[in-house]
């Protein structure tokens, strides 16, 4: 069964450093998303991406965050200057059709900012 | 009032029990509803997707939507220890967005 692949599975970084989280969505999917989940809290939407541009973003997705699809397979989330409160699980997801269909999520990257 | 509310549990049941998981929502414009299952330290996995009122069945799982009460349910028949996970309901928020908002999830424990 096709799956969304995320790397690394765990990343530890120092406060103020830049991190790039990587995702390989399912190959025939057109819509891509990043969500995050702070430990013990709910899954929160960050950004959606379609046709090589951001289609929607939440209040969490401020100027510290950016997304990119550098080639035909990868989808990345960059955090420019990490803060302690950025520590969370970051999930990439993709969907084949419109945004109102179910998503396929990756297993996540656990980001720990120290 | 929060748009999507879900009791965090934990809900502990014996193997073989029928489980009922519920969400309430506030926006009557919601048109579609999803249930996800999330195992510990894994991403959510889509279980059920419903677009209207009534019931939808898939194996041991039944999703029920009551739009008049703004209440959705997920029933699990013959529950198994492997069903132990957090169950998240999801639906799009108000304001014209189609991006699903997740409930905080209900933790289910099925003990042998």
Q: Does the CB of B95 have a partner CB in chain A at under 8 Å?
A: no
pLDDT the model gives residue B95? 58
List, as one string, the DSSP characters of B49-78: EE-SSEEEEETTEEEEEETTTTEEEEEESS
The pLDDT of A38-43, averaged and rounded, is: 90
Confidence label for A110 from pLDDT (cuts 50, 70 and 90): very high
Interchain proximity A45–B42, CB inside 8 Å: no
Distances (CA, A) of B66 to B5, B19, B50, B73, B99: 15, 18, 11, 9, 21
Q: What is the mean pLDDT of each run of 10 residues along chain B (112 residues)?
A: 82 97 86 90 89 86 91 96 96 69 92 95
Picking from B38, B49, B99, the nearest residue to A48 by CB comes out as: B99
pLDDT the model gives residue B13? 97
Contact (CB, 8 A) for B33 and B88:
no
Strands (E), A8-108: 10-13, 19-24, 31-37, 44-50, 53-57, 65-68, 75-79, 88-95, 104-105
The phi, psi pair for B81, rounded to 5°, reads -55, -30
Picking from A4, A42, A106, the nearest residue to B102 by CB comes out as: A42
Q: Does the CB of B110 have a partner CB in chain A at under 8 Å?
A: no
Q: Does the CB of A29 have a partner CB in chain B at under 8 Å?
A: no
Burial class (CB in 10 A: 0-12, 13-18, 19+), B74: buried
pLDDT the model gives residue A32? 93
Q: Which of A13, A17, A33, A15 is nearest to A111 (CA)?
A: A13
Contact (CB, 8 A) for A13 and A21:
no
pLDDT the model gives residue A53? 93
Q: Nearest residue of A to residue B31 by CA position?
A: A100
Q: Compute and round to an integer the Cα radius of gyration of chain B.
A: 13
Q: Does the CB of A67 have a partner CB in chain B at under 8 Å?
A: no
Residues in chain B: 112
Picking from A48, A98, A102, the nearest residue to B49 by CB comes out as: A102
pLDDT digits (tens, 9 = 90+) for A54-79: 999 999 999 999 999 988 789 999 99
Q: Does the CB of B32 have a partner CB in chain A at under 8 Å?
A: yes
Q: Nearest residue of A to residue B30 by CA position?
A: A100
Residue A98 has pLDDT above 70, yes or no: no
Interchain proximity A107–B42, CB inside 8 Å: yes
């Amino acid at each position: 069964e096709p799956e969304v692949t995320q790397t690394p599975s765990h990343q530890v970084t120092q406060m103020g450093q830049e991190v790039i989280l990587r995702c390989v969505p399912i190959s025939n999917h057109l819509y891509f998303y990043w969500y995050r989940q702070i430990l013990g809290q709910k899954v929160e939407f960050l950004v959606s991406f379609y046709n090589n541009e951001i289609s929607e973003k939440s209040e969490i997705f401020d100027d510290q965050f950016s997304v990119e699809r550098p080639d035909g397979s990868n989808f990345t989330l960059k955090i420019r200057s990490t803060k302690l409160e950025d520590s969370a699980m970051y999930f990439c997801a993709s969907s084949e059709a419109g945004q109102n269909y179910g998503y396929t999520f990756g297993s996540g990257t656990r980001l720990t900012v120290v | 009032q929060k748009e999507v509310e879900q009791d965090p549990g934990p809900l502990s049941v014996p193997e073989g029990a029928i489980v009922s998981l519920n969400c309430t929502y506030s926006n009557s414009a919601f048109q579609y509803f999803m249930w996800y299952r999330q195992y510990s330290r894994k991403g959510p996995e889509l279980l059920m997707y419903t677009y209207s009122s009534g019931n939808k069945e898939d194996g041991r799982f039944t999703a029920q939507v009551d739009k008049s009460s703004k209440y959705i349910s997920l029933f699990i028949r013959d529950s198994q220890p492997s069903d132990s996970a957090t169950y998240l309901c999801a639906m799009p928020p108000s304001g014209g967005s189609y991006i699903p908002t997740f409930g905080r999830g209900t933790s289910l424990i099925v003990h042998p």
